[in-house]
Amino acid sequence: MANIYNYIGEKIQDLRTSWPGGKLSQEGLAEKLGIAANTVSRWETGTYKPTAEDLDKLARLFKVSITVFFPDLQHDDPRISALTSATGGLDTDDFEEVIKYAEFRKARKALEAAKRPRAKR
């Protein structure tokens, strides 16, 4: 993968073009997010770098996990059982919000790592 932002852009385009109600245009997506259409275009080409907050809005709109934008994030982790135990008494809405928050934190960490300069070999 050349760049995480190129991957994210491709994923945004994939989600947009496979919208359940038919292909969603860049303008249509921008309108739903309350942003300029050229921002969507620039995200898709990797010219603009979406923030973790932008990715959270996209994930919620498309009803996917924010982790879909990051190919290297692990979906299985031994800490899942601890999380399940801690959230056992929550209603569905509260539980989903906890999951979205955890995914948001992972996405933000991945974006921060992508910004760090790589060590020369």
Check which CATH number belongs to the domain holding 101 and give it.
1.10.260.40
pLDDT of 74? 52
Q: What is the mean pLDDT of residues 35-52?
A: 94
Predicted confidence at residue 75, as pLDDT, reads 56
Mean pLDDT for 87-113 is: 87
Percent of all residues in the chain with a pLDDT value above 90, rounded to a whole number = 45
Largest CA-CA distance found in the chain, in angstroms, rounded: 50
Domain count, the chain: 1
Total residues belonging to the chain:
121
Q: What would the DSSP string read from start to end of 66-114?
A: GGGG-TT--S--TTHHHHHHHTTTS-HHHHHHHHHHHHHHHHHHHHHHH
**Poorest-confidence range of 39-43, 74-78, 97-101, 113-117?**
74-78
Q: Which pLDDT belongs to residue 92? A: 86
Structural domain includes residue 121: no
36: domain range?
A: 4-115
pLDDT at 54 over 60: yes
For residues 25 and 14, give the distance between their C-alpha atoms in angstroms, rounded to a whole number: 11
Is there a domain that residue 21 lies in? yes
Quote the mean pLDDT of the chain: 85
With 0-12 CB in 10 A as exposed, 13-18 as middle and 19+ as buried, what is 22? exposed
Please check whether residue 120 lies inside any domain of the structure.
no
Mean pLDDT of 69-96: 73
Confidence check: pLDDT of 1 > 50: no
In-domain check, residue 87: yes
The answer to whether residue 97 is domain-embedded is yes
Q: What is the mean pLDDT of residues 6-22?
A: 92
In-domain check, residue 17: yes
